[in-house]
Amino acid sequence: MESLDEFSVIREYFSGLSRGKATIIGPGDDCAVLRLPAETELATSSDTLIEGSHFPVGSSGADIAYRAIATSASDLAAMGAQPLASVLSLSLPDINATWLEDFRRGLSSAIQCFSLPLVGGDLTAGPLTISVTVYGGLPIGQALLRSGARQGEMVLVSGTLGDAAAGLAFLNKEWEPDCADKEFLVRRFFRPESRLNLAASLLEVATAAIDISDGLLADVGHIASESELAIEIDANKIPFSPALSKLDNRQQVLNWALSGGDDYELCFTMPASKKVPDGCTPIGFTASGTGVSCEGFDILSSKKGYRHF
């Protein structure tokens, strides 16, 4: 145990990560100060991760720091926003230098990966909880909303689905993947891709978008209800990684992909006449009506998307 006080911890572990185009004043004063690019609106989103609820007890500091930044980055991507900065509020049960060094490593890597310089935060004593707020820039009036889908459009997803839920199920000792796939699946849970690199192309083609945090069917349901239309998904078109494609238990794999959360891939709608962005797969279409249906999957017998309460 260290005798570091709050201010030394902030200086030691949470400074020197604030360099970025938008940063005028970083951590150390009462507020951070950011300069927005011209003709830009500010997008912001906050997420809190609690040990035992959002990540398993005993997860490495580096993994949870990375995941905290990545999951918030994903919200910016889903709006079509470009990353500007992040703020981190951390509650720690104690000051453990080894853990904090590890945490900083993951934090630093995520901040670089997603271009989200850390410009401020808060540090309190309490159960391990990580709360990240991110800021992004959007061309005025261009934000990609959940409510923008029109009837007769394609529904697409980025990447592959189900890997993070499969990785979490492995961490929770619910199943045992092939040795060769363990690292990949656990990584998909702790190190989501967060498709910020798709944000610009989505602004060009997409009419509505959401990131998949609670499970595809639950999240696409928000596009359906906000856009006041029906969405029909074809389970046979869901893209799977090689690690999941080779499994025999199709119902389990579909459950992870359609009802398991944590993938942080993007789901979006676009007119069929436009070019599908690289790395994305059409999985269904919008129609008149309400709700989400899924050809080839028994929605009722499956677990619904994650709910906190």
Residues that bind ligand ADP (CB under 6 A): 10, 14, 27-30, 88, 90, 118, 120-123
Task: Kindly tell me the sign of the dihedral angle through the C-alpha atoms of 132, 46, 211, 259.
Answer: positive
CB-nearer residue toward Mg ion: 25 or 113: 25
Interacting span for Mg ion (CB under 5 A) from 30-38, 77-85, 224-232, 285-293: 30-38
Cα 27 from Cα 18, distance rounded (Å): 7
Give φ, ψ of 174 to 5 degrees. Answer: -90, -20
Residues belonging to the chain: 309
Using CB under 5 A as the binding rule, whether residue 29 contacts Mg ion is answered as no
Residue 14 binding: pick among ligand ADP, Mg ion, none (C-beta 5-8 Å cut-off by kind):
ligand ADP
Distance of closest approach, residue 82 Cβ to ligand ADP, in angstroms: 22
Distance of closest approach, residue 51 Cβ to ligand ADP, in angstroms: 16
Residue 223 binding: pick among Mg ion, ligand ADP, none (C-beta 5-8 Å cut-off by kind):
none
Residue 248 binding: pick among ligand ADP, Mg ion, none (C-beta 5-8 Å cut-off by kind):
none
Cα 171 from Cα 188, distance rounded (Å): 12
CB-nearer residue toward ligand ADP: 68 or 88: 88
Paired sense of beta strands 230-234 and 40-50, if any: unpaired
Cα 191 from Cα 4, distance rounded (Å): 29
Using CB under 5 A as the binding rule, whether residue 30 contacts Mg ion is answered as yes
CB-nearer residue toward Mg ion: 30 or 94: 30
Residues 61-120 close enough to bind Mg ion by CB under 5 A: none
CB-nearer residue toward Mg ion: 30 or 248: 30
Distance of closest approach, residue 286 Cβ to ligand ADP, in angstroms: 42
Structure tokens at 112: 């670089």
CB-nearer residue toward ligand ADP: 120 or 260: 120
Helix spans in the chain (H): 6-13, 61-79, 97-113, 163-171, 179-190, 199-205, 216-227, 242-245, 250-259
What does the CA dihedral 268, 271, 272, 278 come to, rounded to 10 degrees? -50
Name the site residues for Mg ion (rule: CB under 5 A).
Answer: 30
